[in-house]
């Protein structure tokens, strides 16, 4: 009996070792996904298209995957925002009111989502994202130089930050595309500067969501840290690519990401 018990315990130890090895390789794979997601997100937004399915495939529940996606995403987005800031593409002083308004909107949206029906967004959001793709496809005004703003930056950036942040707290997909559209079409920013400003507000919006996810214990930290390390590399390289090539890379990538996101939301809501 003792020998049989010892055998079972030995087999359990072997199995635990296999699970640890499997987990290690899963984390390595997630780190590689983080590099790709960080690059895409830094240039055009939409890194969650890559990261979220990977987290779900790794066995995380939908809530845990969403929470962990916010953690790993914020690392890459912060890296990209910091890189753009160092390059002089964004001034945090002028973005202060927009940052505060975006945080407030996202936090309020995350609270509100529990009390409202968001099913109407399943159709409305893909249509809006397709409109973003069409704008970036056909508009001749998307260049690497700033144009005259149609709206006053100091007044309307906080307003749009609150509205889009609120949407991000409620639903989320396409937030980066909507920020990009606002900064290009309404505030006259060139492609690289629009991407830089988008990253700053994306960081803010994700922070607001994490203020709810982390205390609730929804984050799987091992996966978030592994992907976050990859996001540092991907976010840095993506920001450098956006700075180096500007509209030549940002414009087509925004179009492709927007179309893929719209299709995914329509066919796989």
Interatomic CA distance for residues 52 and 57, integer angstroms: 9
Interatomic CA distance for residues 103 and 94, integer angstroms: 16
Q: What is the pLDDT of residue 140?
A: 60
Mean pLDDT along residues 191-199? 89
The answer to whether the CB of 246 falls within 8 A of the CB of 253 is no
Residues near 23 by beta carbon (within 8 Å), at least 6 away in sequence: 222
Interatomic CA distance for residues 47 and 60, integer angstroms: 18
Q: What is the pLDDT of residue 125?
A: 67
What Rg, from alpha-carbon coordinates, does the chain have? 20
**Confidence class for position 203, pLDDT limits 50, 70, 90:** very high
Mean pLDDT along residues 102-117? 82
**Confidence class for position 132, pLDDT limits 50, 70, 90:** confident
**Three-state DSSP class for residue 61:** coil
Q: What is the pLDDT of residues 10-32, one digit of tens each?
A: 434 433 333 333 388 888 888 99
The whole-model pTM stands at 0.75
Q: What is the pLDDT of residue 19?
A: 35
Helices (H) and strands (E) in the chain, counts: 10, 0
Mean pLDDT along residues 231-258? 81
**Confidence class for position 118, pLDDT limits 50, 70, 90:** low
Q: Which two tokens stand for residue 153?
A: 């930056």
Interatomic CA distance for residues 219 and 62, integer angstroms: 11
Q: Where is mean pLDDT largest: 60-69, 105-114, 198-207?
A: 198-207
Interatomic CA distance for residues 71 and 126, integer angstroms: 25
Residues near 35 by beta carbon (within 8 Å), at least 6 away in sequence: 230, 231, 233, 234
Mean pLDDT along residues 88-109? 93
HSE-up (13 A, CA, CB side) for residue 116: 14
Residue 251 has pLDDT above 70, yes or no: yes
Q: What is the pLDDT of residue 2?
A: 47
Helix pair angle (191-213, 2-43), 10° resolution: 150
DSSP letter for 184, please.
I
Interatomic CA distance for residues 153 and 186, integer angstroms: 9
Phi, psi of 120 (to 5 degrees): -65, -25
> What's CA 19's distance to the chain center, in Å?
30
Mean pLDDT along residues 131-137? 73
**Confidence class for position 114, pLDDT limits 50, 70, 90:** low
**Confidence class for position 98, pLDDT limits 50, 70, 90:** very high
pLDDT greater at residue 261 or residue 141: 261
Residue 147 has pLDDT above 60, yes or no: yes
**Confidence class for position 117, pLDDT limits 50, 70, 90:** low
């Amino acid at each position: 009996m003792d020998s049989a018990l010892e055998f079972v315990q030995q087999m359990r130890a072997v199995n635990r070792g296999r699970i640890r090895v499997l987990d290690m390789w899963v984390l390595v794979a997630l780190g590689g996904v983080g590099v790709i997601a960080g690059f895409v997100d830094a240039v055009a937004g939409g890194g969650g298209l890559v990261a979220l399915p990977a987290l779900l495939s790794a066995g995380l529940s939908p809530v845990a995957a969403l929470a962990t996606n916010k953690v790993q995403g914020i690392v890459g987005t912060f890296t990209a925002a910091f890189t753009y800031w160092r390059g002089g593409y964004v001034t945090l002083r002028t973005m202060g009111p927009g940052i505060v308004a975006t945080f407030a909107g996202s936090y309020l949206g995350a609270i509100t989502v529990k009390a409202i029906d968001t099913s109407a967004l399943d159709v409305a959001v893909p249509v809006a994202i397709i409109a973003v793709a069409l704008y970036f496809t056909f508009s001749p005004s998307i260049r690497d130089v700033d144009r005259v703003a149609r709206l006053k930056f100091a007044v309307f950036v906080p307003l749009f930050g609150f509205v889009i942040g609120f949407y991000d707290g409620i639903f989320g997909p396409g937030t980066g595309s909507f920020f990009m559209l606002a900064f290009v079409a309404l505030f006259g920013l060139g492609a690289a500067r629009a991407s830089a400003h988008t990253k700053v507000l994306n960081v803010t919006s994700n922070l607001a969501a994490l203020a709810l996810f982390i205390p609730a214990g929804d984050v799987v930290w091992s996966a978030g840290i592994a992907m976050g390390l990859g996001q540092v590399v991907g976010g840095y390289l993506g920001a450098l690519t956006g700075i180096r090539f500007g509209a030549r890379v940002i414009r087509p990538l925004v179009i492709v990401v927007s179309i893929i996101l719209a299709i995914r939301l329509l066919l796989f809501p």
